[in-house]
Structure 1
Amino acid sequence: MKYIVTAVLLFALLGCEKKVEFDLNETIPLLTVDASIETGQGPTVVLTKSLNYFSKVSAEVLGNTIIKDAEVYLSTGNKTHQLRRYDVVLPGTSIPFSYYSSDTANPSTIIRGEEGQSYRLRIVWQGKEYTSSTTIPTLRKVIDSLWWVKAPNTPDTSKKVIVRARVIDPQPFGDYARYFTSVNNGVFLPGFNSVFDDAFVNGTTYTVDVDKGVDRNAELDFEEYGFFRKGDTVTIKFSNINKATFDFWRTVEYSYQSIGNPFSTPTKIIGNISNGALGYFGGYANQFTTVTIPR
């Protein structure tokens, strides 16, 4: 999580005569949780330690934030499974990475995602216990059809296109969704604004542009943002989520988009992990829809 000191705050401090000093270097690392479970899949849990505000980010620093000594349990109420840690190297890099998932050595207790099922996550680390719960909702809000059109308002109409979807949102209120895109069987990347609710579209069938997903670890090219290209095969991963998952990603994305804006309001990330930990545990009911754009 990133905490932003805005220019507005600095301007306010300039008007004070009392000298105020901030020590942002020394903070106690907090447990950060990135956990999810999807229909038909086992859980994925990534545990890290938060960084100081002025920490210099490098492959070595990131590697040192990974937590490898936690006990992680997933439960449905009727069954409990202790997750196993897996150590890998991120593809195309030398950066070590670890995550917790189903322990194949204990197949009898393995838990997979099911629509309508609730799950409880329990983490024990450094003598403290952290818990969270989530539900994989029933897949109600769905993509009815997917197609492409020439990209408007760009000189590169011979190659650039946009993808559109017709979405069905049922009654009553309370449907939340998140989407990802994959191009030519590549990784699924979330949209720049990847989550939305049904506050204005409840009970309707509507058409929406589906922006190409973005890699938030890379600089965003606004001239290319949102567009696909002729010859691409585009797959949309359209996920129904619960409100807690929606609130987490909504606040994360707002914070991400407002970085560097001196007039933005500092955002509190709304997580759902107990005992002061950062992050979230979310459930995803997935629909996959594909469109091929001819050359």
Structure 2
Amino acid sequence: MRKASVTLLLTAMLATACEKEITVDLQSKEDQLVVEGIIEDGRFPMVILSRSLNYFSRITPKQLTASFVHNARITVSNGTSTHELREYKSDTTAGVILYFYTVDTARLSTAFTGERTVSYTLKIEAEGKTMHATTTIPAASLKLDSMWWKKAEGKDSGTRARVLVKVTDPPERGNYVRYFTSRNGERFLPGLNSVFDDQVVNGTTFDVPVDAGVDKNQSIDFDTYGFFDRGDTVTLKFCNVDHSTYDFWRTADFAYTSTGNPFATPTRITGNVQGALGYWGGYGVTYRTIIIPK
């Protein structure tokens, strides 16, 4: 450990001795359209369409509400039927009105819910632009076998617990999962690193811990991150996803966790929407619930 400390100290001294002033010209860019679209098996598609916001701006509820794009023509096709989505709004407790597009209840003859192994094409026409994306809801390739809990170690053993799952992966490579957790009936939230693939575990049955999901709009207490409280009812939303959905959230999660780290590699978030930022993702969902006793 002493050798490592000396090495870091020398590196810092050399960096200071060779200090050079660097000016970065942050050019202003025009707003871009941002798509967040999902379709789950057994559910209607949903799309949120907005404009990007300035990275350095202080985002207020009014600005966030104003960022949503209205009167877009959004259609989803499953190869047999094409359904045009309708815009709705919902008030939130944070004072923001959320706008989203989903099934048009006046046109149920063309409406459909998601099915596993089916591909879905999204088309968006808004503000003189046309955007396209395709996703597939995968089969349940990575299977959720069981779910259990164990006591936290050390001083938190009486108040906190970890949740683990057993998962079986098929011999075929290229399977991906995104997960969310809900405690005590609250909304589902993803973990800080919410996706994983089968590159290392291909063709095996393995145990893996599941971190409690977090609201990334709130500050995170890393002393308690990942734990559930004794007495919690925990529901896991375990989603098989395609590669594009995995890649989007893999890069988005990394970008979030490395924010503020000067040594982190700059990350380009990889979307699958042609003509806009964001993603259109299919989710094959399995739910599992356990009660952690006090």
TM-score of the pair, normalised by structure 2: 0.91
- TM-superposed deviation, 1:93: 2.6
Question: Paired residue for 1:281?
Answer: 280
Q: Separation in 2 of the partners of 1:205 and 1:53?
A: 42
Kindly indicate whether the alpha-carbon contact (under 8 Å) linking 1:73 and 1:80 is maintained by their aligned counterparts in 2.
Answer: yes
Structural mapping, 1:1-295, within 5 Å: 15=20, 22-24=25-27, 26-90=28-92, 92-152=93-153, 154-275=154-275, 277-295=276-294
Q: How many residues align?
A: 278
| Residue-by-residue CA offset, 1:118-177 (whole Å, 9 max, x unaligned) | 00000001111000000000112121111111112x412111011111111111111100
Q: What RMSD over aligned residues (CA atoms) do the two structures have, in Å?
A: 1.6
Secondary structure in 1 matching 2:66: helix
1:8 alignment counterpart: none
CA contact (8 A) 1:159 1:230 kept: yes
Tell me the CA shift for residue 55 of structure 1. 1.8
SS at match of 1:213: coil
CA distance in structure 1 between the aligned counterparts of 2:114 and 2:183, rounded to whole angstroms: 25
Deviation at 1:216, TM superposition (A): 0.5
Q: Tell me, which stretches of 5 or more residues in structure 2 are unaligned?
A: 1-15
| Separation in structure 2 between the aligned mates of residue 165 and residue 149 of structure 1, nearest angstrom | 11
Is the 1:83–1:100 Cα contact (8 Å) retained in structure 2?
A: yes
- Once the two structures are TM-superposed, the CA of residue 229 in structure 1 deviates from its matched residue by 1.3
Identity of aligned residues (%): 45
Report the Cα offset of residue 69 of structure 1: 2.3
SS in 2 for 1:27: coil
CA 1:21–1:160 in structure 2 vs 1: closer, same or farther (change >3 Å)? closer
Partner Cα separation in structure 2 for residue 61 and residue 269 of structure 1: 23
In 2, are the aligned partners of 1:85 and 1:100 still within 8 Å (CA)?
yes
1:35 corresponds to which letter in structure 2?
G
Shift of 1:236: 0.6
SS at match of 2:155: coil
What is the distance in 2 between the residues matched to 1:162 and 1:255?
26
- 1:265–1:23 CA distance, 2 compared to 1 (3 A): closer
| Partner SS state of residue 62, structure 1 | helix
The 8 Å contact of residues 142 and 238 in structure 1, kept in 2 or not, is answered as no
- Is there any run of 5+ residues in structure 1 with no aligned partner, and where? 1-10
Deviation (angstroms), 1:54: 2.3
The residue type equivalent to 2:54 in the other structure is N
Residue 23 of structure 1: how far off its partner (Å): 4.4
Q: Secondary structure at the match of 1:178?
A: strand
Query: Partner letter of residue 242 of structure 1?
Result: D
Deviation at 1:21, TM superposition (A): 6.1
